[in-house]
Amino acid sequence: MPLHNIPIRKKVMGSILLTSVVVVVLLQTAFFAFDLLALRELSERQLITIGAVTAVDARDALASADAERGAELLAALSTSPHMVRAAIFDDSGQLFARYPNHAPVGQFPPMPEGDGYRFIGATLVGVQPIGAASRRLGTLWLEYDSSAALRDRFWSSLRLAVIATVLVLLVAYWLSRAAQREISRPVVALAATVADIATRQDFSVRAVSRGSDEIGELTAGFNVMLDVIEAREFALGQSELRYRATLDRLLEGCQIIGPDWRYIYVNDTAARQGRRSVQELLGRSMLETDPDFAGSALFERLRHSMQERVDARFENEFQYPDGSTAAFELSVQPVPEGILILSLDISARKRDERTLIEARDELERMVALRTAELSIAKEQAESSDRLKSEFLATMSHELRTPLNAIIGFTGTLLMKLPGPLNPEQEKQLRTVQASAKHLLSLINDLLDVAKIESGKLELRLEAVPCQRVIEDVVAALRPAAAAKNLTLLTQMSHFDVPVLAERRSLSQILINLTNNAIKFTDHGSVTLHLADADPHTGRVSISVIDTGPGIAANDQKRLFQSFAQIERGSTRKVEGTGLGLYLSRKLAELMGGQITLDSVPGRGSRFTLLLPAAVAEASALSLPSR
């Protein structure tokens, strides 16, 4: 049995007994070692004494060369049980006598050298000189077996050690029993309490503390841990109750399925979705309630989530035994008990989706039909516009020639070259001339619009100095401003500000903007303001600012449309075709620019023409102050 599986009572007793045995063995080992050293020392002293006595007795035998006397002396050594061999050598090194007498000569060494006593292994060898006065007569050689003495001492000591060990073990066993009761009893009681709690799952049980030592502190800590566990168990129970109550009230169906495919939990919604009762499902297997379920695709998906422990989310159409179907959105999640299945009935949503798809298909069909109709109408309109534009562009010569003739003839008559005119005739001719010029301007605008829309208007862009164009426009329209008592002003730099444009188109735009400002301004001034190129946008701005009645916000949205005319003030006082601003914006866009409007009713208007700046050498202009 592994040591960690042995009961603590036996561990305590075993540790005390083992400690006692180890201590006794160590003490006996030390005693035996000490006894061994003492025995070796005693053996050496005894052999020295025997050698000294024998050497004295052997002098006479050597002096008289009586070998038999020497053999008798050595035979007396047999009284020492551990004496192995002995020999007497004469002064020439010849063997004189030996012990045992019958021992072969080869067992004895030649003439020994080196007086003294020494251990060779367990054998004590002694070399004792034999002599009288200063003369050496011979040598005594002794061989003493100390191992036999050691064995005798070992066995006698072992008997004592066994007796002492038995006595010590008896005393240690009695003490260990008394000690283990005090040490193991609280631990065993604590273990019994733990086993009782584990069996009954009752965390209200408490261990009894039997002291204030480490085991007592362990018991107190265990009781504190039980307090915490009991509180957590209570909180967990309350949380489980709330969780179950929440699951029971969910609009989604909730099921917990175990690894054996049995229903562990089913809420009311899930039971209603399956058209069964909760009691009918709990504890039963899904395969019992629906024998055909094992072969379905839904079962394969659930089994994959159960075995692989992975989430899954999908839609499934479920068929009831009566043949009706319902669509559900299923969310499957692995949980410790098995898998959690949340099901949401999406049958109504599926019906709505089908309705929406049908409506979308119908709408797409109607849109496709209407698109085809609009495409045909667009082609017809474009064809009509193209025919109109081509007609106007082609008829430009035929339309302008008669009007130029009328204007020329009326001019000739007004100059009274054919003869004098009365006032009434002059008035009528001037009316004819003004109407012809107005009609010619309308035709010119129409022809320009037609060319732009038909793509036949080609502009040659170049660097045009704005100051000179503005001066020409002011000179041309100053009489019209003076006729209405308006001040026509300019605000320009003394250096050329060139723009990338066509000179005629730029002049036409400024004339349209300035002429409109003069026509709709009854008093005050009209100002043409030229600003230097913006370093960020690279554009030059030319603004026409008037002090007229201004333009309402609603009218500003349709101001630049073709043939759009608005009223400023209470009544309409000016004539126009509604093409001037439309044509001006188109020309500005063709030159890479734009026209913006900033107007407040009652405060006047500001039309700004923005055109790309052109690179040109700046030259100083001496312009008169205005």
For 556, how many CA atoms within 13 A lie in the half-sphere containing its CB?
Answer: 15
Six token digits for residue 313: 């989310």
pLDDT tens column, 13-28: 777 777 877 887 888 7
Cβ pair 565, 576 in contact under 8 A: yes
The secondary element (H helix, E strand) that includes residue 501 is strand 498-501
The secondary element (H helix, E strand) that includes residue 407 is helix 396-414
The predicted model gives 558-562 an average pLDDT of 77
Give me the torsion for CA of 191, 195, 198, 203, rounded to 10°.
-60
The secondary element (H helix, E strand) that includes residue 269 is helix 268-273
Number of C-beta neighbours around residue 139 at 10 A: 24
Distances (CA, A) of 306 to 267, 285, 404: 20, 15, 97
Which neighbouring-strand residues pair with 526?
488, 546
Q: Which residues of 539-559 are buried (b: 16+ CB within 10 A; e: fewer)?
A: bbbbbbbbbbbbbeeebeeeb
- The more confidently predicted of residues 183 and 191 is 191
The predicted model gives 146-159 an average pLDDT of 75
- The more confidently predicted of residues 387 and 393 is 387
The listed range with the strongest mean pLDDT (138-152, 178-192, 288-302) is: 288-302
Write down the pLDDT at residue 576: 60
Six token digits for residue 499: 């723009």
Write down the pLDDT at residue 20: 77
Write down the pLDDT at residue 564: 66
pLDDT band for 624, please (50, 70, 90 cuts).
very low
pLDDT band for 180, please (50, 70, 90 cuts).
low
Pairwise CA distance, residues 74 & 50, whole Å: 11
pLDDT tens column, 80-96: 878 888 998 888 888 88
Pairwise CA distance, residues 157 & 161, whole Å: 6
Six token digits for residue 14: 């075993």
Write down the pLDDT at residue 621: 37
pLDDT mean across residues, the chain: 82
Max CA pair span of the chain: 211
Question: Residue 323 — left, alpha, or beta (φ > 0 → left; ψ -120 to 50 → alpha)?
Answer: left
Question: Collapsing DSSP states into helix, strand and coil, what is residue 210?
Answer: coil
Q: What percent of the chain has pLDDT over 90?
A: 18
Write down the pLDDT at residue 571: 42
CA 369 from chain center: how many Å? 51
Q: Is the pLDDT of residue 144 over 70?
A: yes
Q: Is the pLDDT of residue 467 over 60?
A: yes
Cβ pair 584, 508 in contact under 8 A: yes
For 238, how many CA atoms within 13 A lie in the half-sphere containing its CB?
Answer: 5
The secondary element (H helix, E strand) that includes residue 253 is strand 253-257
Write down the pLDDT at residue 572: 47
The secondary element (H helix, E strand) that includes residue 414 is helix 396-414
pLDDT tens column, 589-616: 999 999 999 998 888 999 999 999 987 5
pLDDT band for 622, please (50, 70, 90 cuts).
very low
Cβ pair 568, 577 in contact under 8 A: no
Number of C-beta neighbours around residue 216 at 10 A: 13
Backbone angles phi, psi at 594, to 5 degrees: -160, 165
Write down the pLDDT at residue 4: 62
Q: How far apart are the first and last CA of the chain?
A: 121
Size of the chain, expressed as the number of residues it contains? 626
pLDDT tens column, 106-121: 888 887 878 888 888 7
The secondary element (H helix, E strand) that includes residue 542 is strand 539-546
pLDDT band for 626, please (50, 70, 90 cuts).
very low
Q: Token pair 């069964």 is at which residue? A: 276
pLDDT tens column, 309-364: 999 999 988 888 888 889 999 999 999 989 999 999 888 888 888 899 999 999 98
Cβ pair 511, 609 in contact under 8 A: no
Cβ within 8 Å of residue 545, ≥6 positions away: 517, 526, 527, 528, 529, 604, 605, 606
The predicted model gives 475-485 an average pLDDT of 91
Which neighbouring-strand residues pair with 464?
499
- The more confidently predicted of residues 509 and 5 is 509
The predicted model gives 429-457 an average pLDDT of 74
Q: Is the pLDDT of residue 133 over 50?
A: yes
Cβ pair 3, 10 in contact under 8 A: no
Opening angle at CA 155, ends 152 and 159, nearest 5: 140
